[in-house]
Amino acid sequence: MSKTNFEFTDDIMYLKGIGPRFAEILKKKLNIKTMYDFLTHYPRDYEDQRKITPIGNLEVDDSVVIVGRLSNLNKRETSRFNIITGILSDKTGHIPLTWFNQDYVYDKLENGIRLVVIGKVKLDSYSGMATMNQISSFHALDSGEMPLLGILPIYPATAALSQNFFRKAMKNLLDKMPPQPEILPAQIMTELKLMPLDKALRAIHFPKDFAELENARRRLAFEELFSIQCGLMLIKRQEQDDRLGIQHKRNGKLVKAAKEAIPFELTGDQKKTFRDICKDMQEKLPMRRLVQGDVGSGKTVVAMLALVKTVENGFQGAFMAPTEILAVQHFEKFSALLEPLGIKIALLSAKITSSKKMREEIYKKISNNEINIVIGTHALIQEGVQFKKLGLVVTDEQHRFGIAQRAALEKRSELIPDMLVMTATPIPRTMTLTVYGDLDISLIKHLPPGRQPIKTYVRTKTSRKQIYDFVRSEIFAGRQAYVVCPLINRSDSEKLQKLDPATEMFEMLSKNLFSDVKCALLHGKMKPNLKDAIMESFRAGEIKLLVSTTVIEVGVDVPNATVMVIESAERFGLAQLHQLRGRVGRGSEKSYCILVSNSKKDIAKARLEIMESTTDGFKLAEADLQLRGPGQFFGEEQHGLPDLKIADVFRDEELLITARAAAEKYVTDEADLNYYSELRKNLALAYGNKFSQITDA
Ligand code: ADP
Ligand code: MG
């Protein structure tokens, strides 16, 4: 064993057994760059290989590990199968090996090599002999190499790298890793009976037994949740320590007038949410509230009232929308309701800010407090705008922006403004605590009355004709339709041969079945002006059929659109499908969502069936998380925090609650400030600049 130590931040290339070529693959395929990334590339599963069974002792139906020398390698084709066979022998006997339809296996085999084979012994129905034809994994041993034994890790891998590669490299890393000092507070360690860090890091990869494995997992999961919670609380505390918040007065005439101007009665959930908001705004501490509500549940009206409240108190409000189209839409709605009450609203759009004169005029009015409410995209509001008295910032669909960005805007005013975040992503409670641990939460659960539920159907490509005939009939009944296609990463050579799916679909539909209907294509790569013009024309009802990529995912209100066809639906996340589907069913007509998929995979089918069975975003999210695991639900860029490496939002709910309570205690305990420096280092290591706000402190 070598004694050479390394730093966790060292390039993974320098680990024995890796080198530049494999390092490149690790970086590209798995985003593993450093020793630390590799160490925390935790196994997704394990296989029990604690002992090798002598071949002479094998019995039918045993699941075993055998080691022997390969001979009689052969490949043949029958009408139904491609079959690879060989014979594995050790000192005690021999057994036939068979692989069906796994051609790639052949290249890894050669007569005379030593193999470790894991699988199940079966009676071959043809020859009547014991054989191994259910081989779950195998790998070749170098000459003189001893097979690894124990409960062996199975890593999230990629085709170019074998499990054996990962196992050997991980062993090398652990051999060279100096003993890791404990970083969790001693009291927590004792109270929760947690395994020491050093032991846990080793045991998670190569556990002695399953009990040790579970303890290692629990410890690492706790640490992960605890670090994130501490990080979020530090952010919150720092904000609260730094500057004073604004204490708004109780609601007066203007808020009352705005409520009366709204053409409908608020739902119970909306009223409750607005009460939560008012209570926060009337306190000295800055409001940090998340309003979570399904697409179309009516979050925007509530946010509008909160903006009126800040205006009533002499402050200004900013409303940040995720896209320009949405900003325009909100601006029109707000203006219609609030201008008559004397509230001045400005739209910061790309058009306006591209003219220097207009931009400067608006900026001046904002800095004089002549404008009460500013609506724009996140980017536009963040840019050079100086508010005279910013009282409230509303961020719509915040999960698209990072936590750090959220703070950037408010940094520029003397008093710390209240902050309201709205999201339509149905995040389960446990996940909310993890991702939005620094926010208080209000829920809008029930949709406003009178909505027609959206009917969802899963269909295969063979039904295309019927599907599009139906779309046609809706269009001829006066309605509009969306067709959504996935984005596919194609290599340059493929791009030359094939159009991307949306363009291909558009060509096919607009030239054939819909040649007499006004169709348009909307694509993320188009110029913003063109995109806006197309969206505007669709909103105005001129374009009847809109073929697009997911650019339409976020919030445009076209109540006359009643059908959405989603092609290759299995390629989308459930959260995304739900968000897309929310584009229809916004008016009083019955709406339909048709998911087209030819996927044969059970999990893909199961996911689409959930879409068919419910329109409740929360149920969907939970079902999706259970099917796929938490890792892939959001995707990092969507919530600004990295996906969890080891904790599981379902399994570890209790651990999360414990971690949050522990973090609350530690972050408010003045005596423990030293501990933060350790924690900061750790957060930086694990999550990079995601917590730069506190790690820079
Ligand atoms: P969200 O922002 O949550 O997606 P919106 O605030 O855009 O939802 O509301 C969706 C639609 O429902 C809008 O047309 C809005 O005017 C309408 N709406 C909101 N609240 C109510 C309500 N309480 N009763 C009837 N219609 C409502
Ligand atoms: Mg909205």
Q: What is the tens place of the pLDDT at every residue in 264-314?
A: 999 999 999 999 999 999 998 888 898 988 877 899 999 999 999 999 999
* Residue 171 scores a pLDDT above 90: yes
For residue 624, the cross-strand partners are none
Residue 497 pLDDT level (bands cut at 50, 70, 90): low
Please list all protein residues whose beta carbon sits less than 5 angstroms from ligand 2, which is an ion: 555
pTM of the model: 0.61
**Is residue 298 lining ligand 1, measured as CB closer than 6 Å?**
yes
Residue 374 pLDDT level (bands cut at 50, 70, 90): very high
What does the alpha-carbon distance between residue 314 and residue 175 come to, in Å, rounded to a whole number?
A: 64
What does the alpha-carbon distance between residue 258 and residue 304 come to, in Å, rounded to a whole number?
A: 9
CA 545 to ligand 1 centroid distance, Å: 25
Query: How far is Cα of residue 458 from the mean position of the Cα atoms in its chain?
Result: 24
What does the alpha-carbon distance between residue 12 and residue 245 come to, in Å, rounded to a whole number?
A: 46
Residue with CA nearest ligand 1 atom 27: 448
**Is residue 448 lining ligand 1, measured as CB closer than 6 Å?**
yes
Mean pLDDT of 420-441: 70
Q: Which long-range contacts (CB under 8 A, 24 or more apart) does 191-196 make?
A: 192/222, 192/658, 194/218, 194/219, 194/222, 195/219
pLDDT, one tens digit per residue, over 112-163 is: 999 999 999 998 877 888 899 888 888 888 878 888 888 999 898 777 788 8
Give yes or no for a contact between 611 and 456, defined as CB atoms under 8 angstroms apart: yes
Residue with CA nearest ligand 1 atom 9: 298
pLDDT, one tens digit per residue, over 327-368 is: 888 999 999 999 999 999 999 887 777 788 888 899 999 999
At 668, list the tokens.
């408010």
CA 119 to ligand 1 centroid distance, Å: 57
Distance separating the N- and C-terminal Cα atoms of the chain: 39
Which of the given ranges, 38-42, 184-188, 413-417, has the highest pLDDT on average?
38-42
The pLDDT value given to residue 447: 84
**Is residue 582 lining ligand 1, measured as CB closer than 6 Å?**
no
Residue with CA nearest ligand 1 atom 18: 298
Candidates 259, 260, 262, 264: which one to mutate for ligand 1, based on the most atoms within 8 Å of Cβ?
264
270 CA closest ligand 1 atom index: 23
